[in-house]
Amino acid sequence: MDELEIYQKQGFGNQSGFGERPALLIVDFVNGFTDADQFGGGNIDAAIQTTKSLLATARATQNPVAFTRVVYADDGSDAGVFCLKAPGLAALTEDAPASQVVDDLTPVHGEYVIRKTQPSAFFGTNLAAWLVAKSVDTVLVTGCTTSGCVRASVIDSMSYNFRTIVVTDGVGDRAMAPHEANLFDMEQKYADLMTAEEVAAKITELAQ
């Protein structure tokens, strides 16, 4: 019995499906993650370009859009254990160029920009309440890194009972092995996987 058969035998890998009111969540596509000397590398830049197209479709179909940024206080007063594991994160302050959303995805009026200090977009933020207020039932996730803040956000999204879709070509990681492994694991337990093209077609269909 191979590994996939084990998951199937135990009942994992089912579809949670696509609801009626999706929102696009763009996780940590900020300047520091486009630079391999800071936090970038791998397929992150390609995922940003894919997300650029999907963001245009989400805006055209008037779906809610939220972005996350990692933002710490200038004096480091809110830096915790996450910064012990990755000390460079503490440099991502409000005005730091590395912490700004990349130009290709610049938020527009009415889109929610979340400041966070932990991996998940939901932890210690108002994201869940904002999604509920928008009557959202499905969270479409792009961003980086697949194995880090994307995964943490996906698990919390599912935990809040949102149907959760990971956009496979809209998420990226600095190394491909954790990227692929985490896509597999999230599909088995927490989310559905769809390409950006498939998601764009679905949200366009819903808007008609």
Burial class (CB in 10 A: 0-12, 13-18, 19+), 59: middle
Residue 2 lies in a domain: no
What CATH number did the domain enclosing 102 receive?
3.40.50.850
Strand stretches in 20-137, DSSP E: 22-27, 65-70, 112-116
Among residues 24, 89, 149, 150, the one annotated as catalytic is: 149
Which domain covers residue 92, as residue numbers? 19-207
The predicted pLDDT at position 29 comes to 98
Flag whether 60 is in a domain.
yes
Q: Active site includes 144?
A: no
Instruction: State the Cα–Cα distance between residues 13 and 5, nearest whole angstrom.
Output: 11
Spans of the chain, pLDDT less than 50: none
Q: How many helices (H) and strands (E) does the chain have?
A: 7, 6
12, part of any domain? no
In a domain? residue 8: no
In a domain, 9, yes or no: no
Question: Total domain count for the chain?
Answer: 1
pLDDT tens by residue, 129-172: 999 999 999 999 999 999 999 999 999 999 999 999 999 999 99
| CA–CA dist 28, 146 (Å, integer) | 11
Bridge partners (DSSP) of residue 163 are: 138
Q: Tell me, what's the pLDDT at 1?
A: 64
Give burial (CB, 10 Å; 0-12/13-18/19+) of 184.
middle
Res 114: pLDDT: 98
Q: How far is 82 from 66, CA to CA, in rounded Å?
A: 23
31: in domain: yes
Asked, for residue 10, whether it belongs to a domain, the answer is no
